């Protein structure tokens, strides 16, 4: 029992260290479509910074998974890192859709930041 506690404690400590290393970027503030005129450039810059930050976050998570052993990583660590990765990718996809719906559709000249 004590050995199991020590092993799991070590695994969770390693996961906590990984969480500190990967920094989740601040969400871009994307106003409703009717509040976009005049703010296109500001919103586009914020979205570009968010997108770049999210790419770095996902790369960091994937590097942590590789460092933990990739497909051979302990199941707990692998599941936590895969969940973080999938959640980050889904969030970024949502933000790109929100940006496209609110900003790009409000101004024909605007376009969404590159996905990758």
Mean pLDDT over residues 81-97, rounded? Answer: 97
| Res. 114: pLDDT tops 50 | yes
Domains identified in the chain, total number: 1
| Res. 88: pLDDT tops 90 | yes
| Phi, psi for residue 15 in degrees, rounded to 5 | -65, -40
Q: Note down the domain range covering 90.
A: 2-104
Q: Is residue 51 part of a domain?
A: yes
Q: Is residue 112 part of a domain?
A: no
Q: Is residue 114 part of a domain?
A: no
Q: Is residue 111 part of a domain?
A: no
Angle at the Cα of 25 (from 65 to 94), degrees rounded to 5?
90
Mean pLDDT over residues 28-57, rounded? Answer: 95
In 10 A of CB 90, how many CB atoms? 10
Q: Is residue 115 part of a domain?
A: no
| Phi, psi for residue 50 in degrees, rounded to 5 | -60, -45
Q: Is residue 10 part of a domain?
A: yes
Q: Is the pTM of this model over 0.85?
A: no
Q: Is residue 116 part of a domain?
A: no
Note the pLDDT tens digit of each residue in 38-50: 999 999 999 999 9
Tokens of 35: 């509040």
């Amino acid at each position: 029992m004590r050995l199991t506690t020590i092993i799991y404690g070590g695994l969770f400590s390693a996961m906590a260290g990984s969480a500190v290393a990967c920094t989740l970027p601040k969400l871009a503030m994307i106003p409703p479509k009717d509040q976009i005129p005049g703010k296109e450039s500001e919103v586009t810059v914020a979205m570009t910074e968010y997108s770049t930050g999210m790419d770095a976050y996902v790369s960091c998570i994937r590097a942590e998974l590789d460092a933990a052993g990739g497909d051979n990583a302990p199941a707990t660590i692998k599941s936590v890192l895969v969940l973080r990765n999938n959640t980050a990718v889904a969030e970024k996809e949502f933000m790109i859709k929100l940006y496209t719906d609110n900003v790009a559709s409000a101004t024909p000249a605007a376009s969404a930041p590159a996905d990758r």
